[in-house]
Amino acid sequence: MAKIPEAQNRLFKNMFVCKNCQSKIRSDTQKVLKGLTKCRKCSKKAFRPLKKK
Ligand SMILES: [Zn+2]
């Protein structure tokens, strides 16, 4: 698979990892920042971007 910066950026941009249970979730950055995104597994609202780590 060719690495397309734009596509990768888009993929990672909306991906977050739950700080509580480490499950990945796709959501808008704005939604996460506003606390509108809940973790599917543990219902927490603490997320970090997927990029880190
Ligand atoms: Zn969680």
Q: Is residue 29, in this structure, part of any structural domain at all?
A: yes
The pLDDT tens digits of the residues spanning 2-25 come to 677 887 777 778 999 999 999 999
Looking at residue 45, its pLDDT comes to 97
H or E element that contains 31? helix 29-33
**How confident is residue 53, by pLDDT bands cut at 50, 70 and 90?**
low
Distance 29 CA to ligand 1 centre (A): 17
Cα atoms in the Cβ-side hemisphere of radius 13 Å centred on 12: 11
Which of helix, strand or coil describes residue 26? strand
Structural domain boundaries enclosing 33: 20-46
Number of structural domains in the chain: 1
Q: Is residue 5, in this structure, part of any structural domain at all?
A: no
Distance 49 CA to ligand 1 centre (A): 13
For ligand 1, an ion, list residues with CB under 5 A. Answer: 18, 20-21, 39, 41-42
Distance 32 CA to ligand 1 centre (A): 13
Q: Is residue 33, in this structure, part of any structural domain at all?
A: yes
